[in-house]
Amino acid sequence: MKPFTSRVIAIIKNIPAGYVMTYGQIAKLAGSPRGARQVVRILHSMSKLYELPWHRVVNAKGEIAIKDDESRFMQRAYLSDEGVFADENDLIDLDKYLYRPVGENDDR
């Protein structure tokens, strides 16, 4: 496994319940500020294998970005169960729910 992939997996595993992180935020923390799409691919291919809390990852706008209706509903339900609520447009208030690991800047 490549070091970037390992770091992404570790970061996602450490997102606490009740919070979200963005794809770009995770990519930057893992060492590739322009690697948001790689984070998407890692989540898609490795979530089950590594039991990643995939539902805690959203896009830079705070939007649930999954296109598949069933998966989108599941993400919204899982987040709601943890106290993270999206509005009618599937937007999550990042000022309230964004997880910022110690020492991280506010860049999303």
User: For the segment 24-57, what is each residue's pLDDT rounded down to a tens digit?
Assistant: 999 999 999 999 999 999 999 999 999 999 999 9
CATH code of 3-94, in short, is 1.10.10.10
**Global pTM value:** 0.90
- C-alpha distances in Å from residue 18, one per residue of 57, 73, 85, 98: 12, 17, 9, 9
Question: What one-character DSSP code corresponds to residue 21?
Answer: E
| Domain locations in the chain as residue ranges | 3-94
Q: What residue has token string 């992180």?
A: 21
Instruction: Work out the pLDDT band at 14, boundaries 50, 70, 90.
Output: very high
